[in-house]
Amino acid sequence: MKQFLPTALLTSMLLISSCTTIPAFRIDATTQGIQAGDTLIFTHHSLPDWKEVSYDTLITTREGKFSFNKIIGKTSLYNIVYRPSQAEPLPYCNRGFSFYVRPGDHLKVKGNIEFFPAMHKEGGMYDDPRLQRILTLEDSITVEMNKLYRKLRHFADLRGTPQANPDSMIYYNQAYRQCRSKELSEARRNFYNTADDSEYAALEYMQALHEIPYKEAQERFTRFIPEVQSSTTGKIIEQLLKVMKNIEPGNTPSEFTVIAADSSRISLSDYRGKYLLIYHWGYGCPGTTWVHPRLLELYAKYHDKGFEILGFTGDERPQNLSGDAEVTALYFPPWPTVYTEQKENSFIATDYYFNGVPILMVISPEGKTLLRGYSDIYQPLKDLLEKEMGE
């Protein structure tokens, strides 16, 4: 159960940390619209999986400003969620304002509460001149996406009323989905492929590893300077490379045995001779919502011909499903489900690199990985099954 740190205790910790030599980071923010008494939740996430490690709560004491410092032992990922005390929270399409930080870093950020996730960052790793164009593009695209998201939310809320406008909802839904910047993608890719002396480049490269072939990633890692290779991020990438080699299409992934929701023991070798889809899903994920009914159709059509699905999820089954057919379909599929938060199964999320949802990994009857990716794997999987098992 999550527990908030009492404000007085948090304040004492912050004061103590500022008077010692123990590595700490500090963030000072100028944020238009923040009022005294507003709440900021600082969540520390592990890398590369964004799992929540801990969080602290800060009650702001000044208008338009806040400061926070925390003892950390290694490069970390933080996310800040803003909660106003006197108004309803603004809808954001992002989790909050995110940043990377190392022990001893001092970040200065500025922005406004209207587009809180797009606050501009300076200090620490962000002082690299090569990053300025990237950071500016990131801020602008975040603002644009939140504008479109709010329009979409507005028209979605009008459904079922005389003011409903389905055409506008479709328009803003498409605009939101297409709100991507080719210029930003190319700038990021150029930076993380060439900045051999930057841990930030290694962090960005790590986030893109799921799209990069193992041999290419291995070669890129060797070009980082020794200081980056031995950094927190470098060590994570080195471990991920071992995992990537295990799941790479064309390779034979390692054997595993897990405990399914019905307490049965399931091994990868149990599926030899059949096509197997390893399906990592998450409740509330739009990609899962889209692909799940399609997988149900494939399973119904091809299961008797040798197609199997093994589902993995980190989401516990709700106590009350409230008769929701969509949720019931997720938690009671016709194939086995494995809960990765269960102690006996926790290894699989690392060994098979479940870094997002939905992840689809197709294993051949001979035990080799054929396909691996997100919901975009559905169509190649469908084509494969139609070719191999269709009439």
- What is the pLDDT at residue 356? 86
- What average pLDDT does this structure show over 286-306? 96
Structure tokens at 320: 């009350």
Is the pLDDT confidence value at 312 over 70? yes
CATH of domain 257-389: 3.40.30.10
**DSSP letters for 367-382:** S-EEEEESGGGHHHHH
Stretch 370-384: mean pLDDT:
96
H-helix or E-strand containing 174? helix 166-177
Going by C-alpha positions, the residue among 113, 149, 143 that lies closest to residue 39 is: 113
38 vs 56: CA distance, rounded Å: 14
Which pTM does this prediction carry?
A: 0.71
Q: What is the pLDDT of residues 160-218, one digit of tens each?
A: 999 999 999 999 989 998 998 999 999 999 999 999 999 999 999 999 987 888 999 99
CB contact burial 42-51 (16+ within 10 A = b; e otherwise): bbbbebbeee
Give the mean pLDDT of 15-31: 73
CA gap 42, 29 in Å, rounded: 13
CB 247 within 8 Å of CB 352: yes
Q: CATH number of 1-123: 3.90.1300.10, 3.30.70.270, 3.40.50.360, 2.60.40.1120?
A: 2.60.40.1120
pLDDT digits (tens, 9 = 90+) for 232-260: 999 999 999 999 999 989 999 999 999 99
How high is the mean pLDDT of the chain?
A: 91
For the chain, which residues make up each domain, given as ranges? Answer: 1-123, 182-247, 257-389
Residue 128 token pair: 């690299």
Residues 360, 374: Cα–Cα separation, whole Å:
6
Q: Which residue has the tokens 């057919």?
A: 325
